[in-house]
Structure 1
Amino acid sequence: MSVKIGTNGVEISRVAAAAAAVAAGAATRADRDNPINQSELAANLAQGIEVSLSRPQNIKKTKRLLWVDDTPSNNDYLVRAFRDLGVDVVLAKSTQEGENALASESFDVVITDMSRPPEGEAGLAFAKKIREMGIKIPIIIYASYWASQHKGQESNFGVSLITNDPSAVYSEVLKRMLGS
């Protein structure tokens, strides 16, 4: 059973299913060295669901997300969760592919990993290039070790979020896309 909010709103069952996919992905991504903070996971998922349900009028227009990662299969559960909510997710495997997509299409949010051949900090270089192109768009750096070392330093890098937590990515994307 699902409950639809608004005439063109989001179905609660779709939001809950997307949140469940993110939680499952977080559990599979966690390891002994980086255990899941259950409270933070629950809070981020709840915030994402709350944003989805409190702003159904903004879902009428298809939202677009550009995700740059040389190993896109690492993000399958999040990509599926966003697509289940009606977000058009465009995947790029290189910085050049990401730049080409941004030059020819418009997006609501960009997610980038950090390390891509040949550069160890390709995500930062990509964020800088986006700003040089004059594009004002939320940028999320979603990386494991690098993010754990730089979390909270978003303003230093001109990005919206630095994280290694999939539930934080989920929550931030929904906030940025549905809150605009």
Structure 2
Amino acid sequence: MLTLTRERDVTIEVAGQKIHVGTTTERNSTEIVDLQERLATVEEIIESAENIKFDNKTTVPDQRDRIEDKIANGILWVDDFPENNIFLIRSLREEGLKIDFSSSTEDGFQKFVSGEYRMIISDLGRIEEGIDNPFAGRDLIEKVRRIDQSVPIVIFAGERGMKHADDLKTIGATDVTNSNVALIKSIRQALR
């Protein structure tokens, strides 16, 4: 049985149980983001294990407590489809992170110049002024690096971005990833 409600939430019945797909998707997405954050924390702990001596008195601080000064000087996220990352963005905002959005290279660059950001996240390709620019993220890196060599810039893109990772890092990307876990780790590092 398939029912479409007024709110566009699809309901399906499986083994006599009604499942609301929208609600279930929302809950699963929240749980996935939480797991990604926890995995990023575990990876950071493992990477720094040589500096940690475990005994009965040693505790590992919660990664969420390490993000300081996160309201001021937040993240500039340049992406023509930020809704593709809505669950991750919502989770970061719930942690108190300030995230400003831009949908184009030029607007993103102007926001960067006029604001104070501790990090830039950008997709690789964007449609700008009706034209497909498959390397808009590269263009943004080049513009930003002309005036700031230190702000972390992460290209958060799909498989095509990963194929160009070496080139993007050569011109100034701090990291190139298609992984939410790696992105969370990059954000934590940038905001330390």
Same fold (TM over 0.5): yes
In the other structure, the counterpart of 1:73 is 83
Determine if the alignment matches structure 1 residue 22 to structure 2 residue 36.
no
Report Cα offsets for 1:97-134 as digits up to 9, x if no partner: 20121121000110000001231100001011001123
Change beyond 3 A, Cα 1:80–1:150: same
Return the match for 1:82 from 87, 92, 102.
92
Q: TM-score, normalized by length of structure 1?
A: 0.68
Return the match for 1:164 from 178, 183, 189.
178
For 1:46-125, list aligned pairs within 5 A: 46-47=42-43, 53=62, 56=65, 59-60=68-69, 62=71, 63-117=73-127, 118=131, 119-125=133-139
Q: TM-score, normalized by length of structure 2?
A: 0.64
SS in structure 1 opposite 2:125?
Answer: coil
Alpha-carbon deviation of 1:56? 3.3
Alpha-carbon deviation of 1:20? 4.0
Alpha-carbon deviation of 1:19? 8.4
Instruction: Output the CA distance in 2 between the equivalents of 1:43 and 1:152.
Output: 25
In angstroms, what is the RMSD of aligned CA positions? 3.1
Alpha-carbon deviation of 1:146? 1.8
Higher strand share: 2
Report Cα offsets for 1:161-180 as digits up to 9, x if no partner: 10111111011101211x2x
SS in structure 1 opposite 2:62?
Answer: helix
Higher helix share: 1
In the other structure, the counterpart of 1:139 is 153
In the other structure, the counterpart of 1:30 is none
Change beyond 3 A, Cα 1:54–1:171: closer
Return the structure number with greater relative CO, CA threshold 8 A, min gap 6: 1
Instruction: Output the CA distance in 2 between the equivalents of 1:54 and 1:102.
Output: 27
Alpha-carbon deviation of 1:59? 1.5
Query: What residue identity is the alignment partner of 1:56?
Result: D
8 Å CA contact 2:119, 2:190 repeated in 1: yes
Instruction: Output the CA distance in 2 between the equivalents of 1:153 and 1:19.
Output: 34
Instruction: Output the CA distance in 1 between the equivalents of 2:109 and 2:126.
Output: 14
Instruction: Output the CA distance in 2 between the equivalents of 1:22 and 1:56.
Output: 18
8 Å CA contact 2:64, 2:95 repeated in 1: no
The structure with the largest alpha-carbon Rg is: 2
Report Cα offsets for 1:136-158 as digits up to 9, x if no partner: 20000000022231346654131
8 Å CA contact 1:52, 1:174 repeated in 2: no
Query: What residue identity is the alignment partner of 1:53?
Result: D
Return the match for 2:143 from 101, 108, 129.
129
Unaligned stretches of 5+ residues in structure 1: 1-17, 27-40
Determine if the alignment matches structure 1 residue 176 to structure 2 residue 190.
yes
8 Å CA contact 2:78, 2:103 repeated in 1: yes
SS in structure 2 opposite 1:67?
Answer: strand
